Structure 1
Protein backbone atom coordinates (compact mmCIF):
# COMPACT_ATOMS: atom_id res chain seq x y z
CA UNK A 1 0.00 0.00 0.00
CA UNK A 2 1.16 3.52 -0.71
CA UNK A 3 -0.52 5.23 2.25
CA UNK A 4 -3.69 7.24 2.62
CA UNK A 5 -5.94 9.17 5.00
CA UNK A 6 -9.44 7.76 5.41
CA UNK A 7 -10.66 10.80 7.38
CA UNK A 8 -10.24 13.29 4.56
CA UNK A 9 -12.84 13.46 1.76
CA UNK A 10 -11.03 13.14 -1.57
CA UNK A 11 -12.46 14.48 -4.81
CA UNK A 12 -12.73 12.08 -7.74
CA UNK A 13 -12.70 12.53 -11.51
CA UNK A 14 -14.70 10.00 -13.54
CA UNK A 15 -13.20 9.30 -16.98
CA UNK A 16 -15.44 7.59 -19.52
CA UNK A 17 -13.59 5.82 -22.33
CA UNK A 18 -15.91 6.55 -25.26
CA UNK A 19 -13.50 6.69 -28.20
CA UNK A 20 -13.85 3.15 -29.54
CA UNK A 21 -15.02 2.57 -33.09
CA UNK A 22 -16.80 -0.76 -32.51
CA UNK A 23 -15.38 -2.64 -35.50
CA UNK A 24 -16.00 -6.05 -33.93
CA UNK A 25 -19.66 -5.16 -33.41
CA UNK A 26 -20.12 -4.97 -37.20
CA UNK A 27 -22.05 -1.70 -36.98
CA UNK A 28 -21.75 1.37 -39.17
CA UNK A 29 -21.50 3.58 -36.07
CA UNK A 30 -19.72 3.23 -32.68
CA UNK A 31 -21.34 0.69 -30.38
CA UNK A 32 -21.47 3.14 -27.45
CA UNK A 33 -24.21 4.99 -29.34
CA UNK A 34 -26.50 1.96 -29.48
CA UNK A 35 -29.83 2.68 -27.82
CA UNK A 36 -30.97 0.60 -24.86
CA UNK A 37 -34.23 1.39 -23.09
CA UNK A 38 -34.41 4.73 -24.85
CA UNK A 39 -30.88 5.94 -24.10
CA UNK A 40 -27.49 5.61 -25.77
CA UNK A 41 -25.41 2.99 -23.95
CA UNK A 42 -22.69 5.43 -22.91
CA UNK A 43 -25.21 7.51 -20.95
CA UNK A 44 -25.96 4.73 -18.48
CA UNK A 45 -22.61 4.81 -16.60
CA UNK A 46 -22.68 8.61 -16.81
CA UNK A 47 -26.05 8.75 -15.07
CA UNK A 48 -24.65 6.49 -12.35
CA UNK A 49 -21.66 8.82 -11.93
CA UNK A 50 -23.87 11.92 -11.99
CA UNK A 51 -25.91 10.60 -9.06
CA UNK A 52 -22.93 9.36 -7.05
CA UNK A 53 -21.50 11.28 -4.12
CA UNK A 54 -18.13 9.68 -4.97
CA UNK A 55 -17.81 11.51 -8.31
CA UNK A 56 -17.04 15.24 -8.48
CA UNK A 57 -16.34 15.76 -12.17
CA UNK A 58 -16.83 13.80 -15.38
CA UNK A 59 -14.52 13.75 -18.39
CA UNK A 60 -15.49 11.89 -21.54
CA UNK A 61 -12.92 10.98 -24.16
CA UNK A 62 -14.15 10.35 -27.69
CA UNK A 63 -13.24 10.64 -31.34
CA UNK A 64 -13.18 14.25 -32.59
CA UNK A 65 -16.15 13.80 -34.90
CA UNK A 66 -18.39 12.71 -32.02
CA UNK A 67 -17.60 15.46 -29.48
CA UNK A 68 -20.55 17.66 -30.42
CA UNK A 69 -23.03 14.77 -30.49
CA UNK A 70 -21.89 13.45 -27.10
CA UNK A 71 -22.05 16.92 -25.56
CA UNK A 72 -25.61 17.36 -26.84
CA UNK A 73 -26.80 14.02 -25.44
CA UNK A 74 -25.18 14.75 -22.07
CA UNK A 75 -26.95 18.10 -21.86
CA UNK A 76 -30.27 16.45 -22.66
CA UNK A 77 -29.64 13.74 -20.03
CA UNK A 78 -28.77 16.25 -17.31
CA UNK A 79 -25.11 15.29 -16.86
CA UNK A 80 -24.17 18.45 -14.94
CA UNK A 81 -20.84 17.15 -13.63
CA UNK A 82 -19.43 17.00 -17.16
CA UNK A 83 -16.24 19.06 -17.34
CA UNK A 84 -15.37 18.41 -20.97
CA UNK A 85 -15.30 15.95 -23.84
CA UNK A 86 -11.65 15.35 -24.72
CA UNK A 87 -10.39 14.07 -28.07
CA UNK A 88 -8.99 10.55 -27.89
CA UNK A 89 -6.06 8.90 -29.61
CA UNK A 90 -5.31 5.86 -31.71
CA UNK A 91 -5.38 3.36 -28.83
CA UNK A 92 -7.43 3.25 -25.63
CA UNK A 93 -4.29 4.03 -23.64
CA UNK A 94 -3.73 7.17 -25.71
CA UNK A 95 -7.31 8.24 -25.07
CA UNK A 96 -7.15 7.83 -21.30
CA UNK A 97 -3.87 9.75 -21.24
CA UNK A 98 -5.55 12.59 -23.14
CA UNK A 99 -8.34 12.62 -20.55
CA UNK A 100 -5.84 12.64 -17.67
CA UNK A 101 -4.46 15.91 -18.99
CA UNK A 102 -7.92 17.47 -18.53
CA UNK A 103 -8.43 16.37 -14.91
CA UNK A 104 -8.92 19.22 -12.44
CA UNK A 105 -6.00 20.05 -10.15
CA UNK A 106 -8.16 19.58 -7.06
CA UNK A 107 -9.04 16.00 -8.03
CA UNK A 108 -7.14 13.33 -6.07
CA UNK A 109 -8.70 10.11 -7.35
CA UNK A 110 -9.32 8.93 -10.90
CA UNK A 111 -12.08 6.48 -11.85
CA UNK A 112 -11.89 4.95 -15.33
CA UNK A 113 -14.99 3.40 -16.87
CA UNK A 114 -15.69 1.76 -20.24
CA UNK A 115 -18.55 3.42 -22.14
CA UNK A 116 -19.63 0.02 -23.48
CA UNK A 117 -19.87 -1.50 -20.00
CA UNK A 118 -23.26 0.10 -19.31
CA UNK A 119 -24.28 -1.57 -16.06
CA UNK A 120 -22.14 0.44 -13.67
CA UNK A 121 -23.48 0.42 -10.12
CA UNK A 122 -23.21 2.93 -7.28
CA UNK A 123 -21.73 0.15 -5.15
CA UNK A 124 -18.73 -0.08 -7.46
CA UNK A 125 -18.01 3.63 -7.10
CA UNK A 126 -18.37 3.52 -3.33
CA UNK A 127 -16.28 0.40 -2.81
CA UNK A 128 -13.45 1.44 -5.12
CA UNK A 129 -13.33 4.79 -3.30
CA UNK A 130 -13.18 3.04 0.06
CA UNK A 131 -10.30 0.83 -1.10
CA UNK A 132 -8.29 3.90 -2.10
CA UNK A 133 -9.07 5.47 1.26
CA UNK A 134 -7.56 2.38 2.89
CA UNK A 135 -4.28 3.22 1.17
CA UNK A 136 -4.20 0.89 -1.82
CA UNK A 137 -2.83 2.16 -5.13
CA UNK A 138 -5.72 0.83 -7.14
CA UNK A 139 -9.14 -0.79 -7.00
CA UNK A 140 -10.52 -2.92 -9.82
CA UNK A 141 -14.02 -4.34 -10.13
CA UNK A 142 -13.88 -7.93 -11.34
CA UNK A 143 -15.47 -11.36 -11.18
CA UNK A 144 -14.12 -14.83 -10.48
CA UNK A 145 -13.40 -16.84 -13.61
CA UNK A 146 -15.90 -19.68 -14.05
CA UNK A 147 -14.15 -21.64 -16.80
CA UNK A 148 -10.89 -23.53 -16.63
CA UNK A 149 -8.23 -21.37 -18.31
CA UNK A 150 -5.49 -22.84 -20.49
CA UNK A 151 -2.25 -21.02 -21.25
CA UNK A 152 -1.14 -22.05 -24.74
CA UNK A 153 1.81 -21.70 -27.09
CA UNK A 154 1.75 -20.04 -30.51
CA UNK A 155 1.11 -23.50 -31.95
CA UNK A 156 -1.97 -23.95 -29.77
CA UNK A 157 -0.36 -26.42 -27.38
CA UNK A 158 -1.34 -26.23 -23.71
CA UNK A 159 1.55 -24.95 -21.62
CA UNK A 160 -0.13 -24.51 -18.26
CA UNK A 161 -3.47 -24.65 -16.46
CA UNK A 162 -3.52 -21.88 -13.83
CA UNK A 163 -5.42 -22.41 -10.59
CA UNK A 164 -8.89 -21.06 -11.36
CA UNK A 165 -9.32 -19.96 -7.74
CA UNK A 166 -6.63 -17.31 -8.26
CA UNK A 167 -8.08 -15.87 -11.47
CA UNK A 168 -10.40 -12.90 -11.85
CA UNK A 169 -11.70 -11.19 -14.98
CA UNK A 170 -11.03 -7.46 -14.70
CA UNK A 171 -13.92 -5.09 -15.37
CA UNK A 172 -14.40 -1.36 -14.93
CA UNK A 173 -14.68 0.88 -13.03
CA UNK A 174 -11.04 0.94 -12.00
CA UNK A 175 -9.89 3.63 -9.56
CA UNK A 176 -6.48 5.03 -8.62
CA UNK A 177 -4.89 7.98 -6.85
CA UNK A 178 -4.30 10.59 -9.55
CA UNK A 179 -0.54 10.85 -9.03
CA UNK A 180 -0.01 7.11 -9.24
CA UNK A 181 -2.03 6.70 -12.43
CA UNK A 182 -0.22 9.64 -14.03
CA UNK A 183 3.13 8.13 -13.05
CA UNK A 184 2.10 4.76 -14.48
CA UNK A 185 1.10 6.29 -17.81
CA UNK A 186 4.29 8.32 -18.15
CA UNK A 187 6.42 5.25 -17.40
CA UNK A 188 4.42 3.08 -19.79
CA UNK A 189 5.11 5.48 -22.64
CA UNK A 190 8.79 5.64 -21.74
CA UNK A 191 8.91 1.84 -21.85
CA UNK A 192 6.69 1.63 -24.96
CA UNK A 193 4.35 -0.59 -22.96
CA UNK A 194 0.69 -0.87 -23.90
CA UNK A 195 -1.54 -2.64 -21.39
CA UNK A 196 -5.05 -3.94 -21.86
CA UNK A 197 -6.35 -2.05 -18.83
CA UNK A 198 -5.26 0.80 -16.59
CA UNK A 199 -4.48 -1.43 -13.62
CA UNK A 200 -1.80 -3.29 -15.59
CA UNK A 201 0.14 -0.04 -15.95
CA UNK A 202 0.02 0.54 -12.20
CA UNK A 203 0.78 -3.07 -11.26
CA UNK A 204 3.98 -3.17 -13.32
CA UNK A 205 5.42 -0.41 -11.11
CA UNK A 206 5.02 -2.64 -8.06
CA UNK A 207 1.96 -0.98 -6.55
CA UNK A 208 -0.77 -2.96 -4.77
CA UNK A 209 -4.09 -3.11 -6.59
CA UNK A 210 -7.11 -4.70 -4.91
CA UNK A 211 -10.02 -6.50 -6.55
CA UNK A 212 -13.59 -5.50 -5.74
CA UNK A 213 -15.99 -8.38 -6.34
CA UNK A 214 -18.37 -7.28 -9.06
CA UNK A 215 -21.31 -8.87 -10.83
CA UNK A 216 -21.49 -11.07 -13.91
CA UNK A 217 -24.02 -8.74 -15.52
CA UNK A 218 -21.39 -5.98 -15.66
CA UNK A 219 -20.68 -7.00 -19.24
CA UNK A 220 -18.64 -5.23 -21.89
CA UNK A 221 -20.42 -5.12 -25.23
CA UNK A 222 -17.80 -6.07 -27.81
CA UNK A 223 -19.33 -8.49 -30.34
CA UNK A 224 -22.81 -8.98 -31.87
CA UNK A 225 -23.33 -11.93 -29.53
CA UNK A 226 -22.98 -9.61 -26.54
CA UNK A 227 -26.07 -7.69 -27.63
CA UNK A 228 -28.18 -10.72 -26.79
CA UNK A 229 -27.36 -10.08 -23.12
CA UNK A 230 -29.24 -6.78 -23.29
CA UNK A 231 -32.51 -8.52 -24.10
CA UNK A 232 -32.42 -11.21 -21.45
Structure 2
Protein backbone atom coordinates (compact mmCIF):
# COMPACT_ATOMS: atom_id res chain seq x y z
CA UNK A 1 0.00 0.00 0.00
CA UNK A 2 1.09 3.55 -0.68
CA UNK A 3 0.99 4.66 2.96
CA UNK A 4 0.70 2.08 5.73
CA UNK A 5 0.41 4.81 8.37
CA UNK A 6 -2.57 6.49 6.73
CA UNK A 7 -3.90 4.48 3.78
CA UNK A 8 -6.05 6.22 1.19
CA UNK A 9 -9.52 5.07 2.24
CA UNK A 10 -12.83 5.27 0.41
CA UNK A 11 -16.21 4.20 1.73
CA UNK A 12 -19.07 3.00 -0.45
CA UNK A 13 -22.51 3.56 1.05
CA UNK A 14 -25.23 1.66 -0.83
CA UNK A 15 -28.56 3.38 -0.18
CA UNK A 16 -30.55 2.50 -3.29
CA UNK A 17 -32.87 -0.06 -1.67
CA UNK A 18 -36.59 0.64 -1.46
CA UNK A 19 -36.99 -0.47 2.17
CA UNK A 20 -40.48 -1.90 1.65
CA UNK A 21 -40.69 -3.33 5.20
CA UNK A 22 -40.76 0.21 6.55
CA UNK A 23 -44.18 0.85 4.94
CA UNK A 24 -43.30 4.54 4.52
CA UNK A 25 -44.28 6.90 1.67
CA UNK A 26 -40.59 7.73 1.05
CA UNK A 27 -37.43 5.65 1.09
CA UNK A 28 -36.37 4.97 4.66
CA UNK A 29 -33.04 6.80 4.46
CA UNK A 30 -34.94 10.10 4.22
CA UNK A 31 -37.02 9.44 7.33
CA UNK A 32 -35.79 11.48 10.27
CA UNK A 33 -34.28 10.49 13.60
CA UNK A 34 -33.78 13.24 16.15
CA UNK A 35 -34.71 15.79 13.48
CA UNK A 36 -32.16 14.60 10.90
CA UNK A 37 -32.52 12.17 7.96
CA UNK A 38 -31.21 8.66 8.64
CA UNK A 39 -28.79 8.97 5.73
CA UNK A 40 -27.38 12.25 7.09
CA UNK A 41 -26.61 10.57 10.43
CA UNK A 42 -24.76 7.78 8.59
CA UNK A 43 -22.78 10.06 6.30
CA UNK A 44 -21.84 12.44 9.12
CA UNK A 45 -19.74 9.84 10.96
CA UNK A 46 -17.65 9.11 7.86
CA UNK A 47 -17.47 12.79 6.87
CA UNK A 48 -15.95 13.68 10.25
CA UNK A 49 -13.53 10.74 10.36
CA UNK A 50 -10.08 12.03 9.31
CA UNK A 51 -9.09 8.62 7.90
CA UNK A 52 -11.87 8.69 5.28
CA UNK A 53 -10.81 10.37 2.03
CA UNK A 54 -13.99 10.02 -0.01
CA UNK A 55 -17.57 8.79 0.35
CA UNK A 56 -19.22 7.15 -2.66
CA UNK A 57 -22.95 7.35 -2.06
CA UNK A 58 -24.92 4.98 -4.29
CA UNK A 59 -28.61 5.87 -4.62
CA UNK A 60 -31.49 5.63 -7.07
CA UNK A 61 -31.02 8.13 -9.89
CA UNK A 62 -34.53 9.51 -9.40
CA UNK A 63 -33.58 10.41 -5.81
CA UNK A 64 -30.55 12.56 -6.67
CA UNK A 65 -32.59 15.75 -6.24
CA UNK A 66 -34.17 14.83 -2.90
CA UNK A 67 -30.81 13.61 -1.60
CA UNK A 68 -29.11 16.88 -2.49
CA UNK A 69 -32.01 18.95 -1.12
CA UNK A 70 -32.61 17.10 2.16
CA UNK A 71 -29.20 15.61 2.98
CA UNK A 72 -26.15 16.91 1.13
CA UNK A 73 -26.76 20.68 1.05
CA UNK A 74 -28.28 21.19 4.54
CA UNK A 75 -25.40 19.36 6.24
CA UNK A 76 -22.57 20.66 4.03
CA UNK A 77 -20.94 17.35 3.16
CA UNK A 78 -17.71 17.75 1.19
CA UNK A 79 -16.45 14.18 0.64
CA UNK A 80 -19.49 12.88 -1.28
CA UNK A 81 -19.52 11.46 -4.79
CA UNK A 82 -23.01 10.47 -6.02
CA UNK A 83 -23.34 7.31 -8.10
CA UNK A 84 -26.44 5.76 -9.66
CA UNK A 85 -27.46 2.50 -8.00
CA UNK A 86 -28.14 -0.87 -9.60
CA UNK A 87 -31.01 -3.35 -9.38
CA UNK A 88 -29.41 -5.19 -6.44
CA UNK A 89 -27.21 -4.19 -3.52
CA UNK A 90 -24.32 -6.14 -5.01
CA UNK A 91 -24.65 -4.31 -8.33
CA UNK A 92 -24.79 -0.99 -6.49
CA UNK A 93 -21.58 -1.76 -4.59
CA UNK A 94 -19.88 -2.81 -7.83
CA UNK A 95 -20.87 0.48 -9.45
CA UNK A 96 -19.44 2.26 -6.43
CA UNK A 97 -16.18 0.32 -6.77
CA UNK A 98 -15.84 1.45 -10.38
CA UNK A 99 -16.39 5.09 -9.34
CA UNK A 100 -13.90 5.43 -6.48
CA UNK A 101 -10.46 6.98 -6.66
CA UNK A 102 -8.26 4.37 -8.45
CA UNK A 103 -5.42 5.19 -6.03
CA UNK A 104 -7.52 3.92 -3.11
CA UNK A 105 -5.77 1.48 -0.77
CA UNK A 106 -8.67 0.49 1.48
CA UNK A 107 -12.36 0.40 0.61
CA UNK A 108 -15.15 0.12 3.16
CA UNK A 109 -18.77 -0.82 2.46
CA UNK A 110 -21.35 0.43 4.95
CA UNK A 111 -25.15 0.24 4.92
CA UNK A 112 -26.83 3.62 4.50
CA UNK A 113 -29.43 2.50 7.03
CA UNK A 114 -26.90 1.97 9.86
CA UNK A 115 -26.75 5.51 11.29
CA UNK A 116 -25.25 4.69 14.69
CA UNK A 117 -21.84 3.45 13.57
CA UNK A 118 -19.04 4.70 15.83
CA UNK A 119 -15.87 6.34 14.52
CA UNK A 120 -13.72 4.11 16.73
CA UNK A 121 -15.06 1.05 14.90
CA UNK A 122 -14.29 2.67 11.52
CA UNK A 123 -10.71 3.38 12.59
CA UNK A 124 -10.15 -0.13 13.97
CA UNK A 125 -11.60 -1.65 10.80
CA UNK A 126 -9.17 0.30 8.62
CA UNK A 127 -6.06 -0.65 10.58
CA UNK A 128 -7.13 -4.28 11.00
CA UNK A 129 -7.58 -4.41 7.22
CA UNK A 130 -4.10 -2.99 6.64
CA UNK A 131 -2.85 -6.03 8.58
CA UNK A 132 -5.33 -8.74 7.49
CA UNK A 133 -6.55 -7.57 4.01
CA UNK A 134 -10.24 -8.24 4.77
CA UNK A 135 -12.43 -7.52 7.81
CA UNK A 136 -16.05 -7.24 8.78
CA UNK A 137 -17.63 -5.79 11.88
CA UNK A 138 -19.68 -8.23 13.94
CA UNK A 139 -21.05 -8.94 17.40
CA UNK A 140 -21.46 -12.18 19.30
CA UNK A 141 -24.82 -13.84 18.72
CA UNK A 142 -27.10 -13.23 21.71
CA UNK A 143 -29.63 -15.93 20.91
CA UNK A 144 -29.38 -19.66 20.41
CA UNK A 145 -29.45 -20.49 16.69
CA UNK A 146 -31.09 -23.65 15.31
CA UNK A 147 -30.39 -25.14 11.91
CA UNK A 148 -33.57 -26.62 10.46
CA UNK A 149 -34.34 -28.88 7.53
CA UNK A 150 -36.87 -28.42 4.74
CA UNK A 151 -39.45 -30.20 6.89
CA UNK A 152 -39.20 -27.47 9.56
CA UNK A 153 -37.59 -29.71 12.19
CA UNK A 154 -34.35 -28.87 13.98
CA UNK A 155 -31.33 -30.67 12.53
CA UNK A 156 -28.71 -29.37 14.95
CA UNK A 157 -27.76 -26.52 17.27
CA UNK A 158 -24.38 -24.90 16.53
CA UNK A 159 -22.16 -23.73 19.40
CA UNK A 160 -23.09 -20.09 20.04
CA UNK A 161 -19.51 -19.30 21.08
CA UNK A 162 -18.55 -19.47 17.40
CA UNK A 163 -21.51 -17.55 15.97
CA UNK A 164 -21.28 -13.87 15.03
CA UNK A 165 -23.98 -11.51 13.79
CA UNK A 166 -22.44 -9.60 10.91
CA UNK A 167 -22.80 -5.82 10.59
CA UNK A 168 -21.06 -3.21 8.48
CA UNK A 169 -18.66 -1.67 7.68
CA UNK A 170 -16.95 -4.47 5.83
CA UNK A 171 -13.46 -3.39 4.83
CA UNK A 172 -11.02 -4.70 2.22
CA UNK A 173 -7.97 -3.99 0.15
CA UNK A 174 -9.40 -2.19 -2.86
CA UNK A 175 -7.97 -4.57 -5.46
CA UNK A 176 -9.15 -7.61 -3.51
CA UNK A 177 -12.78 -6.49 -3.33
CA UNK A 178 -12.81 -5.31 -6.95
CA UNK A 179 -11.54 -8.69 -8.14
CA UNK A 180 -14.07 -10.51 -5.94
CA UNK A 181 -16.93 -8.53 -7.51
CA UNK A 182 -15.60 -9.01 -11.02
CA UNK A 183 -15.44 -12.78 -10.48
CA UNK A 184 -18.96 -12.80 -9.07
CA UNK A 185 -20.25 -11.04 -12.20
CA UNK A 186 -18.45 -13.50 -14.49
CA UNK A 187 -19.77 -16.51 -12.56
CA UNK A 188 -23.29 -15.18 -11.97
CA UNK A 189 -22.90 -15.30 -8.17
CA UNK A 190 -25.15 -13.20 -5.95
CA UNK A 191 -23.72 -12.96 -2.43
CA UNK A 192 -25.42 -12.11 0.84
CA UNK A 193 -22.65 -9.60 1.61
CA UNK A 194 -19.29 -8.43 0.31
CA UNK A 195 -17.36 -10.61 2.74
CA UNK A 196 -18.98 -13.68 1.16
CA UNK A 197 -17.58 -12.70 -2.24
CA UNK A 198 -14.10 -12.26 -0.75
CA UNK A 199 -14.36 -15.59 1.09
CA UNK A 200 -14.93 -17.21 -2.31
CA UNK A 201 -11.46 -15.94 -3.26
CA UNK A 202 -10.04 -18.09 -0.42
CA UNK A 203 -9.09 -14.99 1.55
CA UNK A 204 -9.80 -15.19 5.32
CA UNK A 205 -11.98 -12.41 6.74
CA UNK A 206 -11.11 -11.11 10.22
CA UNK A 207 -13.90 -10.10 12.61
CA UNK A 208 -13.71 -6.63 14.14
CA UNK A 209 -15.83 -6.56 17.29
CA UNK A 210 -18.53 -3.91 17.01
CA UNK A 211 -21.45 -2.66 19.10
CA UNK A 212 -25.02 -3.93 19.46
CA UNK A 213 -26.15 -0.33 18.98
CA UNK A 214 -25.00 -0.42 15.33
CA UNK A 215 -28.45 -1.50 14.21
CA UNK A 216 -29.77 -1.58 10.66
CA UNK A 217 -33.04 0.30 10.35
CA UNK A 218 -35.50 -1.95 8.57
CA UNK A 219 -38.87 -1.67 10.35
CA UNK A 220 -40.76 1.15 12.14
CA UNK A 221 -39.72 -0.35 15.48
CA UNK A 222 -36.06 0.14 14.55
CA UNK A 223 -36.68 3.89 14.23
CA UNK A 224 -37.74 4.05 17.87
CA UNK A 225 -34.67 2.11 19.01
CA UNK A 226 -32.28 4.23 16.91
CA UNK A 227 -33.84 7.45 18.20
CA UNK A 228 -33.27 6.30 21.78
CA UNK A 229 -29.65 5.30 21.08
CA UNK A 230 -28.82 8.59 19.35
CA UNK A 231 -30.41 10.68 22.11
CA UNK A 232 -28.34 8.79 24.69
CA UNK A 233 -25.12 9.27 22.71
CA UNK A 234 -25.78 13.01 22.33
CA UNK A 235 -26.50 13.30 26.05
CA UNK A 236 -23.27 11.46 26.93
CA UNK A 237 -21.29 13.63 24.51
CA UNK A 238 -22.63 16.80 26.16
CA UNK A 239 -21.60 15.48 29.58
CA UNK A 240 -18.07 14.77 28.36
CA UNK A 241 -17.75 18.26 26.85
CA UNK A 242 -19.07 19.90 30.03
CA UNK A 243 -16.46 18.09 32.12
**Aligned residue among 96, 103, 126 for 1:129:** 126
Q: Is 1:204–2:195 an aligned residue pair?
A: no
How many residue pairs match? The answer is 227
CA distances 1:144-203 after superposition (whole Å, capped 9, x unpaired): 001110111122111121110001011011111110000110111122111111111101
Q: Is 1:51–2:48 an aligned residue pair?
A: yes
Please state whether the residue corresponding to 1:173 is helix, strand or coil: strand
More helix by share: 2
Spell out the pairing of 1:45-124 with structure 2 (5 A cutoff).
45-72=42-69, 73-82=71-80, 84-124=81-121
Contact 1:44 1:120 in 2 (8 A): no
TM-score normalized by the length of structure 2: 0.89
Contact 2:33 2:223 in 1 (8 A): no
Q: Hey, which bits of structure 1, 4+ residues long, moved more than 6 A?
A: none
Deviation at 1:27, TM superposition (A): 1.1
- The RMSD of aligned alpha carbons is 1.5
Query: For structure 1, which segment, 84-93 or 65-74, has the greater mean C-alpha deviation from structure 2 after superposition?
Result: 65-74
| Match in the other structure for 2:35 | 38
Per the alignment, do residues 8 and 227 of structure 1 end up closer, same or farther by CA in structure 2, a change over 3 Å counting? closer
Quick one: distance in 2 between partners of 1:95 and 1:7?
Answer: 28
Deviation at 1:103, TM superposition (A): 0.5
Contact 1:71 1:85 in 2 (8 A): no
TM-score normalized by the length of structure 1: 0.93
